[in-house]
């Protein structure tokens, strides 16, 4: 089978990542991990990225309602082997059960930062300047003909 020229994940990696995300979310919802940090936070799993050999699953999570998100991530990584065992029942079709690694999902912070930048007065001024440029160009085109 020819290799793709793109460097992105394969369809198989994406499909397996989504299956692992669902199984992981269900495990976290059931509250099977006995740890006060994890029990007191709602953990949202936004994405799971699989390694090309499907042996490592990197889960990007957002602990909601937790005072220290880093501590929740550390606790999840500490219980990664337990999570692997609990998720294995839902992923019987896989040849190898992936090793779990948990990372803090910062995409929401990035979206908020970009949104704040777009609402800043400097950007608004630049965007308004584009409107004036369009008006001037339209006026020039009308007068120039």
Query: What was the pLDDT predicted at 131?
Result: 54
Averaged over 66-81, what is the pLDDT? 92
The secondary structure of residue 88, as a DSSP letter, is G
0.75 cut: is pTM over it? Answer: no
Closest CA to 20 of 1, 48, 39: 48
Report, as an integer, the average pLDDT of 130-138: 55
74-125 confidence digits (pLDDT tens): 999 999 999 999 998 888 878 889 999 999 988 777 777 888 888 888 877 7
Computed over every residue of the chain, the mean pLDDT equals: 83
> What is the per-residue pLDDT across 3-49, written as a single tens digit (0 to 9) for each?
555 678 889 999 999 999 999 999 999 888 888 888 888 999 999 99
- Cβ-proximal residues to 32 (8 Å cutoff; 6+ apart), any chain: 86
Q: What is the pLDDT of residue 11?
A: 92
Q: Where are the domains of the chain?
A: 1-105, 106-145
Strand 56-64 and strand 99-104: the pairing is: parallel
In CATH terms, the superfamily for domain 1-105 is: K homology (KH) domain (3.30.300.20)
Helix (H) or strand (E) holding 100: strand 99-104
Q: Which residue is listed with tokens 């910062």? A: 106
């Amino acid at each position: 089978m020819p290799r793709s020229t793109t460097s992105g994940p394969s369809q198989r990696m994406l499909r397996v990542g989504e299956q692992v995300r669902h199984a992981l979310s269900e495990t976290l919802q059931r509250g099977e991990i006995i740890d006060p940090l994890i029990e007191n936070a709602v953990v949202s799993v936004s994405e799971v990225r699989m390694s090309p050999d499907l042996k490592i699953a990197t889960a990007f999570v957002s602990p909601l309602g937790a005072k220290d998100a880093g501590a929740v991530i550390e606790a999840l990584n500490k219980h990664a082997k337990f999570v692997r065992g609990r998720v294995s029942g839902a992923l019987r079709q896989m040849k190898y059960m992936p090793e779990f690694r948990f990372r803090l999902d910062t995409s929401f912070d990035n979206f908020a930062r970009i949104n704040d930048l777009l609402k800043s007065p400097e950007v608004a001024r630049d965007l308004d300047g584009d409107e004036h440029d369009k008006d001037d160009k339209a006026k020039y085109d009308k007068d120039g003909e």
